[in-house]
Amino acid sequence: MRLQRPPAPVEQRRRGGSGVGLLLPSVLLFLLLLSACGSASSSGGGGGSSASAPGVDADTITIGGVLDTTGPIKVICAPILQGDQLYFNQVNAAGGINGRKIKFIQVSDNGDSTRTRDAVRQLVEQNHVFAIFQVCGSGNANVAESYTVPRGIPFIDPIGGGSKYTDQSGKALPWVWMTQPNYGDEGHVIGYYAATTLKARSVGLLYEDDVLGLQQKTTLAEALQKYGSKLVASVGYNATQTDFSAALQTLKAAAPDLIVLNGLPSPTARFVATAAAQGYRPRLGYLANYPMADNSWAKVLGAAGEGIYVSGYTSMDTPVAQQYLQATRSDPVFSAYKFYGYINAKIMVDALRKAGSNPTRASLRDALDHDFVNYDTGFGPTLTWTPERHGGVSDFMFFQIKQGQLTPVSSFIKASAVWP
């Protein structure tokens, strides 16, 4: 099957921020100028060893998620929710899980991580959910974890490549399971692909200047060096940056064969537009990381996007993907985010099935830790969780924008194969 609509991996870090987020500092600034010139205490969560599981009764399993459907990241989270509901409805229509229907309660934190804790608390203490399935946004997910982990509440699929699933010593957080890959692994695979397949001898990097971009900067440089290439220049930007002229000149001065674009669709598209306006394109063009693996980014770029390589981790060439396409054939456009929700809802349902006919939080944890070895995710890569490993998939493939469409140009490459 020719892949015309490769699904995007999901990037959920907050974009530039809401109007309030940027305008409020302006107001405060002006107020300054004009004048001069819960911690929550909960008992509702129940421990992992609880014998009678909250959220599970004779005919229902209630799970909860925090997905922004009202704020700045609703563009990502709302279609994910649609995909979740599509899959859960299919399962319920087929009889549910061991006779129990899935009840998925979604609340919106407006994309604001300062509201995430209250949203999760509501789900746990008022709605008595069995487990948390999805919190949209890396920062939001990390806030949620600070509530769920100490209370022994299973949290599956924190959405965002920057979500934590290990503690500071690198040990797996006991109640958090990721499905998405992390940017560190992606940096290794991008470095390998750029050096060996694209034959780039020198590479520049434009990266979002936060912990995620810095992580990829390190791993990209490592892999490039290992495979005979070199990171010759790197420039950080922040998510709200609008002017990329200086960044372009800095990278251009290093004369890289290829520029790797790390971060979010909007700023990276602005960088490409700036370069095109100044008549510049590296010899081998650009290679963008997985948040850009969606045809909508190709469309945003216009003609300047033609030929750009993009990393990704999902394939439509699977039975589950075909099932999804069949179920959504009346949708006017393909939504990669909706597909993301669908395939992750499948993982959640499989976990609940594996947790036994009378699931408890402990049995769910046991299933997640022991019954997901080389698990077929349905979107290409396999997933392995163990008590020591709670990270997501780590296989990547590459696309190239051809006639405004992302077209696959590689098969999957395992991060562990290029950086053991």
Partner 1 sequence: MLALLQVLLSGLVTGSLYGLLALGIVLIYRTTGVLNFAYGALAATVTSFLYVLLTGPRLPFWPALLLSLLFALLLGALVERGFARPLLAAPILTKAIATLALALVLQTVVQALWPQLTSPVHFPTPFEGHALHFGGLYLSLVDGLTLLTMVLLLIVLQLFLLRTRLGMAMRATADSLEAARLMGIPVGLIFLLVWMLASLLAAVAGILIAARQTVIDVQFMDPVLLLAFIGAVLGGLDRLEGAVLGGALVGLAENVLALLLAGHSLGALDLGNPGIREALIFAGFVLLLLLRPRGLFGGAALRRV
CA angle, corner 156, sides to 176 and 383, nearest 5?
A: 90
Asked if 289 and 382 touch (Cβ cutoff 8 Å), the reply is no
Output the smallest distance, CB 362 to partner 1, in A. Answer: 41
Output the smallest distance, CB 2 to partner 1, in A. Answer: 24
Closest to 7 (Cα-Cα) out of 390, 344, 419? 344
Pick the closer one to partner 1 by CB: 279 or 420.
279
Output the smallest distance, CB 275 to partner 1, in A. Answer: 10
**CA dist., res. 205 & res. 236, Å (int):** 8
Pick the closer one to partner 1 by CB: 109 or 294.
294
Pick the closer one to partner 1 by CB: 34 or 94.
34
Pick the closer one to partner 1 by CB: 219 or 360.
219
Pick the closer one to partner 1 by CB: 37 or 94.
37
Dihedral of alpha carbons 365, 366, 370, 373, sign: negative
Output the smallest distance, CB 37 to partner 1, in A. Answer: 4
Asked if 158 and 178 touch (Cβ cutoff 8 Å), the reply is yes
Q: Note the helical H segments in 258-378.
A: 265-277, 295-301, 319-327, 336-354, 361-370
Pick the closer one to partner 1 by CB: 265 or 391.
265
**Would you tell me which residues interact with partner 1 (CB under 8 A)?**
15-27, 29-31, 33-34, 36-37, 72, 74-75, 209, 233, 235-238, 240-243, 245-247, 249-250, 252-253, 265-266, 269-270, 273, 276-279, 296, 299-304
Output the smallest distance, CB 19 to partner 1, in A. Answer: 5
Ranges assigned E (strand) in 52-199:
60-66, 101-107, 131-136, 155-159, 176-177
Read off the amino acid at residue 218: T
**CA dist., res. 321 & res. 377, Å (int):** 10
Output the smallest distance, CB 17 to partner 1, in A. Answer: 7
- DSSP 3-state percent helix, strand, coil across the chain (nearest 5): 40, 20, 40
Pick the closer one to partner 1 by CB: 31 or 373.
31
Output the smallest distance, CB 105 to partner 1, in A. Answer: 24
